[in-house]
Amino acid sequence: MVEKNNISPLKDFGLRYQPSQSDNPAIMYLDMLRNLQTRYDALQHENSALLSDINRRDAQIELLQRNLDEALQRVTQLNTALEMERAKNISLSKTPFSRPTNTSNDANEIPQRLNNLKKYKPLDKETIDRLLNDSKHYPVVCDKALHYWQLLCNEGFVDQRLRLAPQTGITVAARIACCFQTVVDPNIHWSFFERHWKKQHLQSNLCRSSYRDEKKYPTINRIFGRAENAPFLSKSALID
């Protein structure tokens, strides 16, 4: 009997100081993981919102860039049409017995100018950059030269890589090369055109005339701002 009375208080004491579940390390660890998971989910949600905003802004930037490119292309087209009109007016003013311009026909010329805009084809940037790095032939793509290349491309004499179009005859090609030397820069060599166009003895065709090409000679002169009936003389002949 005495033994029972001695043991009972010890058991009560042990129950009184038994650790609670909240003090269990495993439970505390699980609570910490839950808190971290909640925080991670919140950060993931914020990140998704930020990515959506970035994608929306990227789409806006792409749209603005596309609008800007279209506007720049339009400006280039208008400048090209303006330069062609100036070259045409200059050639007409230099042509003997040319008829005076009739301003009343300006309205009729508007559709033709719009057609000129449709012909615009941007020159190949890779070709131009490659030639700019060529210490021997870079004058052929200087700013002034590029203007005439663009007009020639618009009229279908060359393509966007500055190569001869199939319908451009050898005598026309010789006159184009001649004008680049006499109008743009005398440092432009015949060898460039012969190599780039794969045409041998190009200069010897300058004094030749082709019945099929004759109607194109005035157009070449007009593109380079010369009188339509101006003769095509090599730079050596001009020096002499």
Residue 84 lies in a domain: no
The whole-number pLDDT of residue 126 equals 93
The whole-number pLDDT of residue 101 equals 46
Residue 7 lies in a domain: no
The whole-number pLDDT of residue 139 equals 92
- Residue 70's nearest CA partner among 129, 143, 116, 120 is 120
The whole-number pLDDT of residue 32 equals 87
Q: Around 60, how many Cα atoms within 13 Å sit in the side-chain half-sphere?
A: 6
Residue 114 lies in a domain: no
Give me the phi and psi of 161, to 5 degrees please: -95, 15
Helix axes 170-179, 190-197, angle to 10 degrees: 140
The whole-number pLDDT of residue 23 equals 64
The whole-number pLDDT of residue 95 equals 45
User: What is the C-alpha to C-alpha distance for residues 69 and 168, in angstroms, rounded to an integer?
Assistant: 31
Residue 185 lies in a domain: yes
Instruction: Identify the DSSP state of 185.
Output: -
Residue 197 lies in a domain: yes
Please give the span between the terminal C-alpha atoms of the chain, in angstroms, as a whole number.
145
Q: How many domains does the chain have?
A: 1
Show the low-confidence residues of the chain (pLDDT under 70). 1-23, 73, 76-77, 80-81, 83-84, 86-118, 237-240
Angle at 162 between CA 157 and CA 164, to 5 degrees: 45
Strand partners, 164: 158
Angle at 165 between CA 163 and CA 166, to 5 degrees: 130
- 3-state class percentages of the chain: helix first, strand second, coil last, to nearest 5: 70, 0, 30
Decide: residue 142, CB within 10 A, 0-12 exposed, 13-18 middle, 19+ buried. middle
pTM: 0.53
User: What is the C-alpha to C-alpha distance for residues 117 and 84, in angstroms, rounded to an integer?
Assistant: 10
Residue 203 lies in a domain: yes
User: What is the C-alpha to C-alpha distance for residues 94 and 100, in angstroms, rounded to an integer?
Assistant: 12
Boundaries of domain holding 163: 136-240
The whole-number pLDDT of residue 102 equals 47
The whole-number pLDDT of residue 183 equals 94
SS3 of 18-49: the string is CCCHHHCHHHHHHHHHHHHHHHHHHHHHHHHH
Residue 30 lies in a domain: no
Q: What is the separation of C-alpha 33 from the centre of its chain, rounded to a whole number of angstroms?
A: 54
